[in-house]
Chain A
Amino acid sequence: MTNEYIQQVLSDKFGTAVWGFEETFEIFSFNMKPEMNMLVLNFLYAEEGLAFQFMTDLTATHYPDRKDEELNIVYHLHNLVANKRIRVRASVPVAQPDIATATTLFSAANWMERETYDFYGVNFTGHPNLVRILNVDEMNYFPMRKEYPMEDPTRTDKDDEMFGRG
């Protein structure tokens, strides 16, 4: 299974809803529209010749500078038979972070989505039990978002400005 083949099959099926195909550090990755996420994942799962049936990882990243696509949800899938890994990303706006749950396809996604919700506030619609998992239930913010900087308030000497990166 080559990267070109995967790109060809997906482009034929989904057209412009998938884009940005590239291989970085041995993993082929691409972006998809968030409203199409389960269509794409189901296709990747069921299509003969693709069969990405193992969910390695699901997480998110917060890019505060990307207007209306601040939260980037990242799926790592693996075809264990062909031993091929891919990474699929979908971006949602932080104001309306809705994306369909992958628990319908992968049981493994259950806690990974809860964790992503817990730390980033991504709302996985259709999730059976979307509650906090590692943080306390009373917490009313999403701590991994970039507006909550992790810093030592007493240190002023190690900011990027000092090293010409400001």
Chain B
Amino acid sequence: MSDQHTQHIQLAEESIQKQTTTLNLGPTHPATHGIFENVLEIDGEKVLSATQNLGYIHRAFEKIAERRPYGQIQPLTDRLNYCSAPINNIGWQTTVEKLLGLKMPKRVDYLRVMLMEFARIADHLVCNSVVAVDTGALTPFTYVFQIRERIYEIYEAICGARLTTNIGRIGGFERNLTDDCWNKVHALMADLPKALKEFETLLNRNRIFMDRCIGAGPISAERALNYGFTGPNLRATGVDYDVRVHTPYCSYEDFDFEIPVGSKGDVYDRFMVRNDEMWQSYRIIQQAIEKIKDLDPSVYHADVPAYYLPEKKEVYTKMEALIYHFKIVMGEIDIKAGEVYHAVEGGNGELGFYLVSDGGRTPFRLHFRRPCFIYYQAYPEMIKDGLLSDAVIALSSLNVIAGELDA
């Protein structure tokens, strides 16, 4: 065997004498919540340094996207942050719509907003309840997963899928929301405040939980900005940057909501920011439902036949619809040449799509700005000189999703 294949099992000379311990946290440790590795150097319980290895589930989405028609790229985006797949889907749709210059009807925008906020609640519920699990409290996790399940049922009622949703299409939704779906939405909205309140009661002022979280894994606003933090993790440091407010998309400018911010950027602040964001999302959904009530209930897509799949019965009976159907399915729609950067506020922060089109049937270049990938770099700095148990909750409070990390 060559040196290259044996070197990783040979112990370094100094490793026999050294006073510290090397600990592999991951790649498949339950506390990492995803397939990525941290090699920690610890002295007793104190973390001295961390080395991160990633790429375990790299699936070359950017390369695959260069060979796929625009409509077929959407399923790839599901698999980025799979805890809030609808946000990724809608982010991709709005990116292409920006390139094509399509304007969505208000009802489509509001439906998208409603869906994205449900996705945000689902994402934050997972993150926050997992922080609690890592501090030793399993109960809140089992409680809120009932709510997450009901959000997934709403996805299911809209698009038939639960986790990797592929929800909506370029130009609108694939079908209108059914009455059954609306019943699920209203029932969930009626129960959500109680469930969130219950979750808060279990944790927010829980002495044990507070002692574990306050001061763990902190980062200053300056460092967070320098590290390119976005989303709840940046807001926990006190910076009120939110893509929904700064660069509104999907008519977010029509909604009234607040941006919760923290001050210390520690685990507790991140937890509280996510918790408050769920209440703001609840507010946004309420407003969206009110706004949708006043709009024509039959509208669920833009009138853009060249880009939006026609109804099946029209495909069978109308020549024009058949042509459009063929062109869209085969990926032969007219795409402009251009260079677009479009961002949405994902569960973890600014999810950006950098798209270069040369006018061909596939993107010339597509790059995903994955918030996880960028802020996870700061992890060694955040846990340095802290306790090992703090490192674990710092990791879960950052909400690093392996799918988004590796793309």
Contacts and interface: CB of A to CB of B under 8 A. Distances in A.
Interface string B79-97: 0000000000000000000
B356 interface: yes
A12 to B, nearest CB: 26
B406 A134 contact: yes
Nearest to A111: B377
Given A61-B356, A150-B63, A106 B339 contact: no
B63 A143 contact: yes
B102 interface: no
B139 to A, nearest CB: 36
Interface string A109-150: 011100100010000000000001111101000011000111
A57 B332 contact: no
A160 B64 contact: no
Contacts of B67: 149-152
For the side of the interface on A, what is the size category? 35 or more
A106 B229 CA distance: 11
B98 A59 contact: no
A35 to B, nearest CB: 23
Given A25-B99, A134-B55, A134-B406, A54 B225 contact: yes
A87 B352 CA distance: 13
B354 A107 contact: no
A76 B241 CA distance: 16
A163 B331 CA distance: 10
Contacts of B360: 160, 165
B341 interface: yes
B246 A83 contact: yes
A87 B225 CA distance: 18
A133 B369 contact: no
Contact of A55 (B228, B331, B341): B228
A53 interface: yes
A56 B369 CA distance: 8
A150 B239 CA distance: 41
Contact of A57 (B62, B239, B339, B352): B352
B54 interface: yes
Nearest to A105: B226
A76 B377 contact: no
A19 to B, nearest CB: 16
Contacts of B247: 83, 85
Interface in A9-64: 24-25, 27, 29, 53-57, 59, 61-62
A158 interface: yes
Given A85-B341, A150-B64, A134 B352 contact: no
A108 B374 contact: yes
B350 interface: yes
Contacts of A149: 67
A165 B334 CA distance: 11
Nearest to A109: B228
Contacts of B342: 25
A100 interface: no
A74 interface: yes
Interface in B198-242: 223, 225-228, 239, 241
A76 B352 contact: yes
Contact of A108 (B58, B98, B226): B226
B361 interface: yes
A27 B341 contact: yes
B255 interface: no
B228 A25 contact: no
B159 interface: no
A62 B365 CA distance: 8
Contacts of B299: none
Nearest to A118: B55
A12 B112 CA distance: 45
22 contacts: A24-B339, A25-B98, A25-B341, A54-B225, A56-B343, A56-B352, A57-B352, A57-B367, A76-B352, A76-B369, A80-B225, A106-B228, A107-B228, A108-B374, A110-B377, A119-B62, A134-B55, A135-B55, A148-B63, A149-B67, A158-B330, A163-B332
Closest 4 CB pairs of A and B: A108-B228, A134-B55, A134-B58, A150-B67
Given A76-B341, A119-B62, A144-B62, 8 more contacts: A55-B228, A56-B228, A56-B350, A61-B365, A112-B374, A133-B55, A134-B55, A160-B360
Interface of A: 24-25, 27, 29, 53-57, 59, 61-62, 74, 76, 80, 83, 85, 87, 106-108, 110-112, 115, 119, 132-136, 138, 143-144, 148-152, 158, 160, 163, 165
